[in-house]
Structure 1
Amino acid sequence: METIKEFLDSDIYLGIIKELGVENFNQDVQGVEIEELKKRLKQRQFLLEGFKCKVLSDQEMVQFYKQMIEEYRKDIILWTKKFWQYSDATIDAYPDGEFPEGEEISEEDVSATIEVGNYSKTSVVMYIIEFDILKNHQEILADYYKSLRIPRSAQYAKEVMVLYKEVFS
């Protein structure tokens, strides 16, 4: 039985990391990151099947990731690169997020970037889940983001869908 941790060290996954540039990633994987991956895939499953569904085992989760990579490897790499560009532009424009008019934070409270680190080795797996939702289940995207507690999830979902259409249309 292959675990998520073993999958992250597998040739198929490390091949994607290599294509995206090993130097862009932290190589250490924390247990909390693996639990977050499981949570995100479960959220996808709950939104598609309801809360009475049979939760995927680790082995079934790994099979999902492997199948996605086998079928959409180049698209996943392209999506990851474009999403990085989008994220970099967004973080520069809104380092503290967006605020409604009249509720903006003061100049002295604005965040300053101290250091830009590498991506987590698990980030590509998270992008695979989002890629699958964008490709096959766009109707649940806003709810997926809402379940992850992303602020303004509906607006964010619209922006990500526009980006997806730009990349794949």
Structure 2
Amino acid sequence: MAKLQLITPNVAYEQDYKAFYQDWQDSGRAIIPSVAKDLPADFAGYVQRLNDNAQGIGLEEGIVPNSTFWLVNEENNEVLGAVNIRHQLTPYLERVGGHIGFGLRPTARGKGYAKTMLALSLKEAKSLELEKVLITCDVDNVTSEKTILKNGGRRSTDEQTEEGIIVHRFWIDL
């Protein structure tokens, strides 16, 4: 398996990140996590904003401090995935968003990277002094559910509904 690491967003990965983004675009699927959904014209500004978010700098009202990481294959600098860790929960995040949102580029799926990415993300969450994290996924996202369960997730019995979609909720003790 590739040597994988989580990195904080860095302008040195601009071309690799753009390839990650294009892979999502070509797939026609919604980009996850939401912090990766738009490719900005000002990439350096985008990276700065993501890193500021982790420090709670310049956050819009209702947005909590959140840390973004990119999953990178160290052998070729390929950006394989993105994860966003919210440092605390708002009532909305408590209901359907959770602490951690993560996604792999479509061409990187089925290789065990998601399990590794989430495991590395849990270490980052622990370093943020979180004692347990909430992770959610849509009821039909069986792959994400399996990934969460493989990383110690315990499914909550109180499912939620968002825009007509049932959302499963999982807690992981750190």
TM-score by length of 1: 0.30
State the structure with bigger RCO (CA 8 A, min sep 6), 1 or 2: 1
Structure with higher strand content: 2
**If the length of structure 2 is used for normalisation, what is the TM-score?**
0.29
